[in-house]
Chains A and B, each alone.
Chain A
């Protein structure tokens, strides 16, 4: 079974530029998460989808971050404009059923904002 795919693996941008990350979850998984992991910290939940609907985006900085999962499969996370403090690893995870089984993680996208 293929795992969660994320791209790109690395990205370096200047502050105030825009960036987008892509995630392809495990086939059939209804729940999709985006996490931000700053160096030395645990993953912080940014947004959670159930199929193509947002179920929790309370921690998403909506003035600059946006995410979508239009067809209930792939998802993109966008930052516009980026700030220095956005430098982190952005992890995508998926789960077949919300809250009952573990979430499976991709390798993440390491973003460096300079």
Chain B
């Protein structure tokens, strides 16, 4: 089944289920968002991105939804596999004093059981 809601630090699903990971961002002026996957002992790895002029973007088995009204971002993973087990972070491209910077949100640990 699917798990939908506010940000959760952990999410446990069965193999084959769909997963939904949520993220709230803080700056309404942020114009670019990225979802990263981080496996133990590795650096964050790009999954999918979306610009603020879009509401939805699809990749292979992943979909990102952007709701600018409530400053909310979600990552949907279809047919979750054990290899999807990792920590997932959303990052926003936020304006700073000299341009923009990539700022990370709280992570969600996804555990997939067979």
Contact = CB atoms under 8 A, between A and B. Distances in A.
Interface of A: 4, 33, 35, 41-45, 48, 50, 55-56, 58, 91, 93, 95, 98-108
A44 B93 CA distance: 13
Interface of B: 31-32, 34, 36, 41-46, 49, 89, 93, 96-107
A102 B49 contact: yes
B101 A56 contact: yes
A55 B42 CA distance: 26
Query: Per DSSP, are chain B's interface residues mostly helix, strand or loop, or mixed?
Result: strand
B89 A42 contact: yes
A58 B97 contact: yes
Q: Pick the most buried of B42, B43, B93: most chain A CB atoms within 10 A of its CB.
A: B43
Given A93-B43, A95-B102, 6 more contacts: A42-B89, A45-B103, A93-B102, A99-B101, A102-B34, A103-B34
Contact of A105 (B32, B45, B97): B45
B105 A107 contact: no
A43 B89 contact: yes
Contacts of A93: 43-44, 102
B96 A42 contact: no
Contacts of B93: 99
A107 B100 contact: no
Contacts of A99: 31-32, 93, 99-102
A95 B93 CA distance: 12
A101 B31 CA distance: 11
